[in-house]
Amino acid sequence: MKKSKKIFLLIGVLFVVATLIVGYDISRKTSFPGSKKYLKESIAPSDDEADTTKTNKENEKIADQ
């Protein structure tokens, strides 16, 4: 085997190992999007929107408290 071919194979192996290390590091710091719980801010109604489903009795109970 020629010296240039050995150097090429060595560089190729180092590149593959470096790529695997970087991929593993990135995968440890991220999570699958489907595994995340919803944030309270994304599911809670905002103050700007009025809830039109409340009845008058519910509104009175809230006002009395």
pLDDT band at 43 (very low <50, low <70, confident <90, very high): low
Inform me whether the pLDDT recorded for 33 exceeds 90: no
| Separation between Cα atoms, residue 49 and residue 47, nearest integer Å | 6
How confident is the model over 18-47, as a mean pLDDT?
Answer: 77
What torsion do the CA atoms of 52, 47, 40, 54 make, to the nearest 10 degrees?
-20
Q: List, as one string, the DSSP characters of the chain.
A: --HHHHHHHHHHHHHHHHHHHHHHHHHHH---GGGSPPPHHHHSPPSSS--TT--HHHHHHHHH-
Strongest mean pLDDT among 23-27, 28-32, 53-57, 61-65: 23-27
pLDDT band at 1 (very low <50, low <70, confident <90, very high): confident
| Separation between Cα atoms, residue 59 and residue 26, nearest integer Å | 50
Entry pTM: 0.48
